[in-house]
Amino acid sequence: LPLLSLLLSLLLSLGGCAGGSCPPRCVCASNILSCSQAVLSTVPAPLPRFTAVLDLSHNNVTRLRADWAPGRLAHLHALLLSHNGLSFVSTEAFTHVPHLRHLDLSSNRLRVLEENLFSDLAELEVLLLYNNEISSVDRTAFENLGRLRKLYLGQNRIARFPLELLRDGSRLPQLTLLDLSANRLHNLPVGELQALPAWLRDRLYLHGNPLACSCPLFQLVARGHRRQLSAVVDFEKELRCLLPSASAPVGILALDSQQPLNCSEAREAVLEAHLGDTVTLSCDTRLRGVRQRHWVTPGGERVLEEAGNGSSSSAALLANGSLQLQALRPEDAGTYACWVAGPLFNETLYVELLVHNFTLHGPHDTLNTAYTTLVGCILSVVLVLIYLYLTPCRCCCCHGSEKPAAPRDDSINSSVLSTTPNHAAPGPEEPCRSRSASANSTGQNGRFKAGGTPQPPPPRHGPKAQRKVSDPDSVSSVFSDTPIVV
C-alpha cells in the first residue's frame, strides 16, 4: 500500500507538470476548459496543453493578439469567443492552433475581415461570424480553408460578398452552407448563383436582405422552391424584395403576378441543341457525393452504364452522374429524368432537351425559314423588274424613232355618234405591225380566224375606191354610213 500511494502521487505530479494546472475562475473537465462568464479581459495563462475545447464566451476579451497562446496547443480543435465585444483579431492569432476545426467569433464587434485572416486554419470546418458589424470582406480572408464546410455571416453589414470564392469550387471546395442573411445585399449575380451546384444552393441563405426585385431573381427563387431547397422552403416568407415604386417589400415568389414586372412562371432545366451536337445533361442533385443514380430517356429507356446500356442509343452515363448524348437526332428531344437514391431521401430531377431540326456549324447548314422566304421575295422582285425593263423588242422595224401608236382598228373604240368612217386609211408614216395571221389563212366557212386582218382588195379608181373594208367581226356604229360586212 505505501508503494502504491507513492506511485500514484508521482504520476499526478508528472501529469501536472506536463499538462499544466486549471486556471483560476475556470472549470476543467477532462480535456475541456470552460472559462465562460468569468469576467476575463484577457485569455488566462498558462493554458493546459491537453486542452481540446476552450470556452471563453461571455467575457470582456476585446482584443485577440498573436501571443494569447504562447505555447503550441496541438490538441485544441474548438475555440469559443462569442459575446466578448471583440473588435480586433491579429492575422497571426491562430498560428499556434493549426488543428482548430470549430471557431466561434459570433456576437462581437468585428468590422473588417482582413487579408489572410484565417489562412493558418487549414483544418477549419465551421466558422461562426454572425451578429457582428462586418461591412468589408477581403477575398483572401478565407484563403487556404480547403476543409471549411459551414460559414455563418448573417446579421452583419455586408453589401457585397466575393461570390467568386464559390464560382469554380477550388477555393472552398467543401463548403455546404453559406449564411448571408440579414445583411445589406441589394443586387445579386443571379447567373452565378444559378450555376452553383444544388447541394450548395440548398443552404445558401439570402433572406432578410434589401434585394431589388427582378424577374431573374424570381426565377432563381421559384426554381429553388420547386426543387424544395431548404434555403427557400424554410424561409419563404422572409425572402422579400423592393419594387422601384413600392414603399414596402413584397414576397419574391409573388412577382409572377406583381406589376410592373409581371414575371413569367419559372421553368425546369431546359437545354437547347442542334442536330449532330454532343450535349451533357447534369444531374444537379441536393445530395453531395451520391453514387446511386440512373437516367431514364424520353422513350423509357433506362441508362445505367457508360456504354448506353448496350443498345443503339447515343446516351451514356458518365462517372460524375451526368448523361452524355452524342450525334443528336430529332427523336432525342424530350424530358430526361435523373433518379437519385440517398441515405435520407430520394430525388428525381427533370431536364428538358430541345433539338432544333438543323445543324449549327455543319458544312450543309439548312437556311432559316424566315431568311429563305426573304431571299425568295427579293429574287422574285428582281426577276419581275428584269422582265419589265430589260426584255428586248421583238418587232422587225421598231428600231426607229418612237411614235404614238395608231388607233385600234375595231369599231368598239369608235364614237357612237361619229359620222366618219370607222377606219381611216393608214398613213405613209404608220409604223409596221406584227402580223398575227397570214392574209390567206381562213377559218371555217371561209371566214378569217380571230385576230387576223383581211388583206385589203386592190385599189380601184373612182370615188368609192377610197373606202376601207371593215373587219369581218367588227360591229359598225349605229349612225355610220360604213356598210356592215357579214
Q: What is the pLDDT of residues 66-98, one digit of tens each?
A: 989 878 899 999 999 999 999 999 999 999 999
The pTM of the full predicted model, rounded to 2 decimals, is 0.65
Q: Which of 109-123, 284-298, 374-388 has the lowest mean pLDDT?
A: 284-298
Closest CA to 129 of 103, 101, 93, 100: 103
pLDDT of residue 261: 77
Specify whether the CB–CB gap between 87 and 105 falls below 8 A: no
Averaged pLDDT, 250-265: 80
The closest of 299, 298, 318, 317 to 309, measured between CA atoms, is: 317
The pLDDT confidence band at residue 129, using thresholds 50, 70 and 90, is: very high
What average pLDDT score do residues 269-279 get?
A: 84
Superfamily, domain 22-254 = Ribonuclease Inhibitor (3.80.10.10)
Segment 412-431 mean pLDDT? 44
Fold observed for domain 271-356:
Immunoglobulin-like (2.60.40)
Lowest mean pLDDT among 30-44, 134-148, 290-304: 290-304
Q: How far apart are CA 223 and CA 231, in angstroms?
A: 12
- Top-confidence range, 184-188, 252-256, 291-295, 320-324: 184-188
Query: Which of the two residues, 251 and 473, has the higher pLDDT score?
Result: 251
Q: Answer for the pair 123, 76: CB distance below 8 angstroms, yes or no.
A: no
* Mean pLDDT, the chain, whole residue set: 77
Domain ranges of the chain: 22-254, 271-356
As a whole number of angstroms, the distance between CA 353 and CA 271 comes to 5
> What does the pLDDT average to over 195-201?
88
| Residue 440: band (very low, low, confident or very high) from pLDDT cuts 50, 70, 90 | very low
pLDDT band at 158 (very low <50, low <70, confident <90, very high): very high
Instruction: Tell me the mean pLDDT in the region 183-199.
Output: 90
